[in-house]
Chains A and B, each alone.
Chain A
Amino acid sequence: MSERPPEDVPEGIEAQPRGARQRGSKPIDQAEAAKRFLAAPRHQQQHDARLWTLRQRRDEQMWAMPEWEELRQLASDIKEHTLSRLDHYLEMFEAKAKANGVVVHWARDAAEHNKIVQQLLEQHGARTLIKSKSMLTEECGLRADLAKAGIDVVETDLGERIQQLDDEDPSHVVVPAVHKLRTDVAKVFAATIGSDPDNDDPPYLAEAQRNAARPVILSAGAGMTGANFLVAETGAVVVCTNEGNADLCANIPALHIVSAGIEKIIPRMGDLAVFVRMLSRSALGSPITQYTSHFRGPRPGAEMHVVLVDNGRSERLGMAEFWTSLKCIRCGACMNTCPVYRRSGGLSYGATYSGPIGLIIDPTFNARKYSNLPYSSTLNGSCSNVCPVKINIHEQIYAWRKVLVREHETPFVKRAAMRAAGAVLARPTVYRAAIEKTNDALTSLPRFVIYNGMNEWGKGREMPRPPAETFHQWFIRTRGDKP
């Protein structure tokens, strides 16, 4: 996600805003990237409207199901139970999968995961890997590592492929290219797969990608999928998709590699119904994904491998305030409902996981780099309300702010302001005097003084209109004579 030079923009067409600037481990400035997204009104409005539509469709599905809240509680309880006995269920899954003829690998971190995959591909002489969408492989940076080894990775999900061809990360866990307009896609496809640059009709663009992908799918040496769920009881790997690409990747090459986070496990087949009933309803507002695939073993003459990846998850399990973020099933409902996310775009977060769930997961990977993210929230709680596994997302966002302040991962201006506020709030007479002065100041001072560089809150927001008198003044005036 390197910064790009300004592109030639034909009159009337705005360039697609790019994501947050990456500066090594230096803190991501989400607000800066969001500002550029807001400055592109056609992109911003399409993005906001599209995600709000998904949220409304999710609501329709929810209202049509009397047992919705019961399912949410069940999903939360099943996940918490499983996480509290995660070692037990992982061993059960491993034993079952092995008995079914699956080879199980364990990877402590991203590097080990990528190495295992690379070795498997080399053993099979596979030079091309066809892939369905997996946030875990994004998290591990798999494509870049395999490219160094001379292996060509081809994403087969339409949105993910658009992002790969545009050399951009996915901006949303379910709809990776949701921040792009059809004109952006037409431009990317014209430059990469040779589609007509003047045709931005979505069915035409989708057909162009289908026709470009087919020969690659038919000639690739190996296929890879992620996993939405792993069932301990039967050793099943469950993949939920809409395009049919995961089943093509898994069912054509002689090697199927599954990349799965250790938190994806659930105990029983019966538990699966709870999650499958809620996943697509929460994500897209459809009753189920077009395909819900259950892989228990290799096809005759083929091999199936599962790589179980930790990459910080076991450590997160020990964080008293944050371990329940491991319940996440990556539906994206919290992103679709979030007013900050809808108006700033997923790429503004500069991390694999964006939106509310990203705010509470990303700091576990790099507390310094993602130290500003927990502030990209209004704490309105909508994310927690739509979460199908009842993660208290907004409370964890707030808790992260406290942790990051404690660990000095907050910017100086914010820290100094908080210290000053703390001193004022601790002394009632000072507080009253300050409030009166502030109200006077907000009424009388010119804008450039109020919205100066030190006013973090005033960036992108209007200050509230001060009341005519403070509560204390009102109380003295109206009740001052009463004891």
Chain B
Amino acid sequence: MSSRDAILAAIRSHLPKGERPLPAVPTFEDHSPADLIEAFGRALKRMGGRMLQPDPGGDGTAPVNALLADSLLVCSATPEIAGEFDLNDVVDPRSLADVDHAVVRASCGVAETGSVLLTDGDLKVNALAYLAQHLVVLLDPADIVVNLHAAYGRPEFRERAYAVFHSGPSATADIEGVLILGAQGVRSLSVWLVPRKSGQPD
């Protein structure tokens, strides 16, 4: 008998008795915050991320341009920000090892946890979001959902090979509980609220 069949047979002979129905999971939206953007920003900060503040009167790109001004190498997966590194030419993810700032657009945000959802489509090369030293995420305020229940209803989880919630930058507290931002992945995560240009895909 194959191991597969042996394991399944052992399970079948040991299944717990009795009916145990699968419950319906509510959406838990009764406790939703009134202002999703404000709640998202608060949760993002709690996770060690930061929101880029818009500059009134400018063309809107000033805060992100200021952030990238001193960057050693920018790699952008978005049309809004020009990078010095073309992701379409990347065959081996290792070639992204020296990227300083990566710029990507999130599929959605989650107000409950301050998370942004990034897919293989958003990232073009998955490793970009981890090899870069810093991550800048563009997020359309209209794409913020209230909680994880709503987020898991999104089509990305059925369509994409890779989808990941980033909730702040990489972090560790493995030595005496001292919080350190920038463990193995990005050292900072900044979110820039900016609507998608019309005609841009979700």
Contacts and interface: CB of A to CB of B under 8 A. Distances in A.
B175 A202 contact: yes
B20 A206 contact: no
A66 B32 CA distance: 11
Given A251-B126, A251-B127, A288-B167, A242 B13 contact: no
- Among A157, A262, A276, residue most surrounded by chain B Cβ atoms (within 10 Å): A276
A474 interface: no
5 contacts: A82-B22, A206-B174, A286-B46, A288-B167, A290-B166
A81 B25 contact: no
Contacts of B131: 248, 252
- Using C-beta atoms within 8 Å of the partner chain, give the interface range for chain A: 35 or more
A156 B7 CA distance: 31
A202 B178 contact: yes
Nearest to A270: B25
A392 interface: no
B38 to A, nearest CB: 16
Nearest to A217: B184
Contact of A157 (B20, B127, B174, B175): B174
Nearest to B169: A290
Interface string B1-12: 011101110111
Interface residues of B, number: 73
A413 B28 CA distance: 54
B175 to A, nearest CB: 4
Interface in B152-182: 152-153, 157-158, 160-178, 180, 182
Contact of B161 (A203, A292, A295): A295
A124 interface: no
A367 interface: no
B13 A107 contact: no
Given A248-B185, A296-B160, A206 B175 contact: yes
Given A80-B20, A81-B21, A91 B8 contact: yes
Interface of B: 2-4, 6-8, 10-16, 18, 20-23, 25-26, 28, 31, 43, 46-48, 91, 93-94, 97, 112-115, 120, 126-127, 129-131, 147-149, 151-153, 157-158, 160-178, 180, 182-186
B176 A182 contact: yes
Nearest to A275: B148
Contacts of A87: 8, 11-12, 15
A65 B131 CA distance: 35
A317 interface: yes
B177 A247 contact: no
Interface string A55-89: 00000000000110010001001101111111100
Contacts of B166: 290-291
B168 A106 contact: no
Given A175-B174, A202-B176, A299-B126, A318 B23 contact: no
Nearest to A157: B174
A84 B20 contact: yes
Interface string A20-60: 00000000000000000000000000100010010000000
B15 A273 contact: no
A417 to B, nearest CB: 35
Contacts of A80: 16, 20
A213 B131 CA distance: 12
Contact of A273 (B6, B14, B127, B148): B148
A293 interface: yes
A213 B25 CA distance: 41
A236 interface: yes
A287 B184 contact: no
A126 interface: no
B161 A317 contact: no
Contact of A299 (B15, B120, B130): B120
Nearest to B47: A290
Nearest to A299: B126
Given A82-B22, A175-B174, 6 more contacts: A162-B175, A202-B176, A206-B172, A243-B185, A251-B130, A270-B153
B151 A273 contact: yes
B40 to A, nearest CB: 12
A252 B93 contact: yes
Interface string A253-294: 000000000100001111111101100000010111111111
B3 A112 contact: yes
A270 B22 CA distance: 12
A52 to B, nearest CB: 11
A349 B134 CA distance: 41
Top 8 nearest A-B pairs by Cβ distance?
A244-B185, A318-B14, A244-B170, A159-B174, A243-B183, A314-B10, A297-B161, A202-B178
A393 interface: no
A162 B174 CA distance: 9
Nearest to B178: A202
Contact of A291 (B28, B94, B164, B174): B164
A205 interface: yes
A178 B185 CA distance: 21
A185 B129 CA distance: 29
B129 A107 contact: no
A53 B161 CA distance: 38
A422 B94 CA distance: 69
A17 interface: no
A295 B94 contact: no
A272 B148 CA distance: 9
A245 B184 contact: yes
